[in-house]
Amino acid sequence: MQQIVGVSFSLSVRSLDQVANAAYNSDQRNPAALSRSVLAFGALMLAASAIALIIIYLFARLFGATVLGLEWRENILSLWWWAVPLCLIRPLMWNFFLSFESTSRPSLLLSSVVTYTFLSMLLGILLIVPFGVRGLYIGLAAGQLVTVILQSKWSKELDTSYGKVISQVTEETAV
């Protein structure tokens, strides 16, 4: 299952990360453009992850038993729906990681990494014991979801009023 999670991540985030990095770097002085870039690349990464998951699921369902064995297919499909939220939230979290790194905001990047690490450990420990590997996937997805929510709150470029304040300050100081 980890290989499948890795494939969906590679096809969604790793295929776009350098382009997103360049876009964030060039847009960092324009909050409106940076906001559009963060949202656009987040949507692209999410869509790529969803498409990768659909293709992998169809392969496992249709050809998995023939190509890799019935036991493999059943093992993968028994965990599939538990891992899907993890695979869909992860690109959003990494998109924020990339935007914080590309725009030289190490405090937000560090806060995101620490938050996700702490939540993953805490929720993983709490949920693995009663639910096994399914609990791990739930814990990781929940940790990522909370981290993405916090990242979106911390990310001022997504707040359109922040861009207006910067524009007003720029205009006032230019006069």
pLDDT at 140: 94
Q: In this structure, are residues 89 and 141 in contact, taking their beta carbons and an 8 Å threshold?
A: yes
pLDDT confidence band for 97 (50 / 70 / 90): very high
Which residues make Cβ contacts (< 8 Å) with residue 52, sequence separation at least 6?
Answer: 7, 8, 11, 12
pLDDT at 67: 84
One-letter amino acid for residue 17 of the chain: D
pLDDT single digits (tens) 158-174: 665 544 544 454 455 44
pLDDT score of 148 more than 90: yes
* Distance set, CA 97 to CA 14, 105, 118 (Å): 13, 10, 16
Q: Are 122 and 115 in contact (CB under 8 A)?
A: no
Structure tokens at 131: 């639910």
Q: Model confidence at 157, in pLDDT bands (50, 70, 90)?
A: low
pTM for this entry: 0.81
Output the pLDDT for position 162: 47
Distance (Å, whole) CA 56 – CA 39: 26
pLDDT tens, position by position, 103-132: 999 999 999 999 999 999 999 899 999 999
- pLDDT over 50 at 55, yes or no: yes
Q: Where are the beta strands (DSSP E) in 30-70?
A: none
Report the distance separating Cα 24 and Cα 98, nearest Å: 8
Q: What is the dihedral angle through the alpha carbons of 134, 135, 137, 141, rounded to the nearest 10 degrees? A: 140
Instruction: Please state the rounded mean pLDDT for residues 46-66.
Output: 89
The answer to whether 96 touches 155, Cβ cutoff 8 Å, is: yes
Residue 38 pLDDT exceeds 50: yes
2-25 residue pLDDT tens: 777 788 888 778 888 889 999 999
